[in-house]
Structure 1
């Protein structure tokens, strides 16, 4: 069912044109994009889509999924294809695997995300786990197709070969670019006939493996994507190998419930606070209820406020802090350079000062 007022929040109802089973617990879903929306859905390699549906209880269900298709050249229609892996108890992923069919309408937000790579010459690498392959597949395929002077190394970790998403697409990349695409596969629960022994790709293992595979210091961009533990271990391994922070880009797909919040709790949160926010060129001011996030404050008055996961992971609710101070419960979406520049995640932010101002349009 398509939600009312979809277009006000950057959503448009799109028709499902394909549902392909990838593994027992994952599918690739393709959406048809009408000509009048081609420019709105022209994505950068590595960006994601927020999908929204209204469930049987009338509740709004949103989830974010990365686009796996290469970015289309200018003048060609965009290809919207996302990979969805079932999560235990997942309201949208279960629906996608069991019910979603060709011809269905789904609210789809216009592409977002900064986990991207504009094609350019150079040597790049990615460390991914599970469904973390999805955005990196788009990044690598676009880069290798458009830039003949680029090389890409993909280091991927999966449980078993049968659980590995996009096996054929990655093999096709290797066939088309044998001299410029390096593939390293590690299975955590299954031995391979050739290649690396089984086991998890943790910090210790990556610290030894990466220098043996690559000239670590000359890699121009590292792209880490997947579960929190893998991304955290890879980032620490790269830091230990002397890689500049600016060359490391991260996108988290799953955070364990016990993860530690970012930032110190506010000891003296104001008893009364007011939020002023600018969204789609219109500003408003509202009181912040005790304990609620700034995103929830905006949503009480503006249903078009951007969000998807509400967990500090996707970055859809990113806003610029114009005035005042806030604390974020956690942040798994913004790069250090973004927080230093003044950006916050509205879904994780609480006021520390009586007056706070956000700009969602910057």
Structure 2
């Protein structure tokens, strides 16, 4: 069997468009037999969808919400799409995409994953951040009969809750092993926790009460997914409660521009630099034009270079720095362990040395 090409797109047919809420839909794609190996995915990974809108290529990344398949690969893939005001792709998905349409879909990617194993795991998910967590929890509970999962989810109102039935089904199937806590930030509930935003202070008080049988730091893995503010507040709360950083895994779905840190002072990009990039076993060397990111340089010469958001959030353009030094402007996708090991986001990286060598295949 041929190896799966890094960042490859294939045309997939939309099998169904299901309305989840007033502002969210689920898209289901049929995976033909010859592509099932290519679309085999780990629980928590995402897909990049590509289309053309008014002559401009648009790419967006959406997490797979369906459970991970067996070794034969999936017959279908399902993602959730929440409408974003002014969003080119989300508006298209909500108003135009219909069953029978064909979209270009990149093979699965992402490292916000939990391979099933025995243990006690937990997640804090906000809004559409439930999407990868649903895949993680469903896969884990089905594969490991002793595993437990605690889900703390927060949404604005009851009517905005995505995958309500799917989460309720997990609770029905695994009542002793799946714990669910829902918090609404803008609407009171008839039962359960009072409304309000889940910030660091509130989570610090809430999380120990949810785990009376053990301390918060006894959980084998915490998965945080949603808006930047929620994820950062949850991480601070967990660290304050004694959770080791290695047990905390994060995926951010949205970062406001004001959250972006300024480039590190004193690290000006090299004026004349060349980048060598290895991708799918082939290498090339090209000059970096003034102001370009390393991804932009590679894309001018290799249109198949992997990317999606270009905002430092999705991690699709992750690459290993083999030689040279770079400066990253933003990083909301790579774990601390990855950056320490030498990985960068090519879309946010600028050369600090005359030569830089990147490997997209690692």
Q: TM-score, normalised by structure 2?
A: 0.96
CA distance in structure 1 between the partners assigned to 2:56 and 2:95 by the alignment: 19
CA distance in structure 2 between the partners assigned to 1:262 and 1:150 by the alignment: 42
Match of 1:106 in 2: 103
CA distance in structure 2 between the partners assigned to 1:276 and 1:168 by the alignment: 49
Match of 1:164 in 2: 161
Q: Is the Cα contact below 8 Å between 1:67 and 1:82 reproduced in 2?
A: yes
SS at match of 1:173: helix
SS at match of 1:73: coil
Q: Is the Cα contact below 8 Å between 1:42 and 1:78 reproduced in 2?
A: no
SS at match of 2:160: coil
Q: Is the Cα contact below 8 Å between 2:6 and 2:361 reproduced in 1?
A: no
- Superposed CA deviations along residues 236-259 of structure 1, whole A, max 9, x for unmatched, are 000111100000000000001101
Shift of 1:275: 0.6
Shift of 1:8: 8.7
Match status 1:33 vs 2:53:
no
Match status 1:319 vs 2:314:
no
Q: TM-score, normalised by structure 1?
A: 0.96
CA distance in structure 2 between the partners assigned to 1:276 and 1:299 by the alignment: 12
Match of 1:49 in 2: 47
Match of 1:307 in 2: 307
Shift of 1:263: 5.3
The 1:76–1:315 alpha-carbon spacing in structure 2 relative to 1, beyond 3 Å, is: closer
SS at match of 1:258: helix
Q: Is the Cα contact below 8 Å between 1:115 and 1:251 reproduced in 2?
A: yes
Match status 1:196 vs 2:198:
no
Question: Structure 2: which 5+ runs fail to align?
Answer: none
Q: Is the Cα contact below 8 Å between 1:265 and 1:327 reproduced in 2?
A: no
The 1:197–1:27 alpha-carbon spacing in structure 2 relative to 1, beyond 3 Å, is: same
Match status 1:20 vs 2:13:
no
Question: Structure 1: which 5+ runs fail to align?
Answer: 1-6
Shift of 1:55: 1.1
How many residue pairs were aligned?
355
Q: Is the Cα contact below 8 Å between 1:9 and 1:303 reproduced in 2?
A: no
- Superposed CA deviations along residues 113-153 of structure 1, whole A, max 9, x for unmatched, are 00000111100000000000000000000000110010000
Shift of 1:217: 1.8
The 1:98–1:122 alpha-carbon spacing in structure 2 relative to 1, beyond 3 Å, is: same
The correspondence of residues 150-229 of structure 1 with structure 2, limited to 5 A, is 150-214=147-211, 215-229=215-229
CA distance in structure 2 between the partners assigned to 1:9 and 1:162 by the alignment: 36
CA distance in structure 1 between the partners assigned to 2:72 and 2:305 by the alignment: 31
Match of 1:116 in 2: 113
